Amino acid sequence: MSASLPIAVAGLGTVGAGLLRLLREQADVLSRRSGRRIELVAVSARNRHVDRGVDLSGVAWFDDPVAMARTATAEVVVELIGGADGPARAVVEAAIDARRHVVTANKAMLAVHGTALARAAEAAGTALHFEAAVAGGIPIVKALREGLAGNRISRLYGILNGTCNYILTTMRESGRPFSDILAEAQKMGYAEADPRMDIDGIDTAQKLALLASLAFGAEVDAGGVHTEGIRAITPLDIAYADELGYRIKLLGSVRQTERGLEQRVHPCMIAADAAIAHVDGVFNAVVASGDFVDDTMYEGRGAGAGPTASAVIADIIDIARGRRTPTFGIPSDQLVRLPRAPMEHHIGACYVRLMVRDRPGVLADVAAAFRDEAVSIEALLQRARSPHEAVPVVLTTHECEEGAMQRALARIGALGTVVEPPMMIRIEPL
């Protein structure tokens, strides 16, 4: 067996502690599979007195993670601090400057600085790996970078946030409202005290931007991701989706179009018999379409100490074996800056729910707004009748241009008979 591989870990939160346990419990397996004994030589965290269930005697402790990245006797620095900037970015930059390999689970940092950091790592002759940054224990980065390297990817989509998937699944199964399920998810540890990153789609958008770079050889462009969350989804929409043969999922989707790269994150109605429609709870799934493999689907736990630590170890083992794959699959100077496909030109069918006062002429006014924007109605549901209360009107459209749909909805929302903003969910053909 070759000499040991000394590593340093910055950040000992949930994932960091999980990594230490994995290193201890799987030491023999890791040595056999990597050809080197993986040796933890240094750690850094905010509080050295927390019991993390792992003996750290003999391991160098650094209060300053940047100093650790610069001076620890480590070949690999693992960054598990989090955040787009601040200490996390400083640790990675310091490690690269010191010509140490870097493994990170930090999708926020890579979504903003990924292209620049990849270029710096290449210039320094070091690896920068991030399997743990996207979809937890699912090896989707390796699949795109290596397993599907012989394919041109035409489309990629997936469920990339377990918190949102848990909320939507539980709403469907229980009929309870979004706010109740979110509070429950926070108590169970599935959602953060401040859940905006998850429920507003930002976490999914960051992950999608990284997958788009891998799949299409593009510079990372998180700012080009059209992003919507799930706050507005109601049990009524989920019930209508079920009646119409759909399930609602928060999807991230990317594809190359004639106008540029289309990156979208928003709730979708997908056919109930689609494979990804049955990915429930905290699980993630990614589907990649290649010209020689057709559709390939990857499913598993998208977060948590164990799955994320497993992904970190996979990158460390690659480094131990001497594998030097470019961060985004191709040399950074070959990454292209693809134009953004404007969302207003997206073409697709839609589900629309209106809450209206039950008066004569309402449907005629709604139909006129759609007619004037060349939006064709496919089906319409209105069963409840009450002249004194708002009632739901649900319709689905044929494929139409996003801009036209938004103009029609703005006009409909201004009608005096429409008592709350129209709800629109795109119907995604998979």
pLDDT attached to residue 188: 85
pLDDT attached to residue 102: 98
Q: Distance between CA 93 and CA 244 in Å, rounded?
A: 51
pLDDT attached to residue 66: 97
pLDDT attached to residue 67: 97
Taking the model in full, what pTM does it have? 0.95
Mean pLDDT in runs of 10 for the chain (430 residues)?
88 93 93 93 90 86 96 96 95 98 97 97 97 95 95 97 96 96 90 92 98 97 97 96 97 96 98 97 96 96 91 96 93 95 97 92 94 96 74 96 98 95 96
- Phi, psi values for residue 44, rounded to 5°: -145, 135
pLDDT attached to residue 2: 66
Q: Which of 107, 142, 207, 249 is catalytic?
A: 207
pLDDT attached to residue 47: 86
pLDDT attached to residue 385: 66
Q: Distance between CA 313 and CA 23 in Å, rounded?
A: 8
Instruction: List, in order of start, the domains of the chain with CATH numbers.
Output: 5-133 (3.40.50.720), 140-301 (3.30.360.10), 348-427 (3.30.70.260)
pLDDT attached to residue 57: 86
Catalytic-residue membership of 187: no
pLDDT attached to residue 386: 65
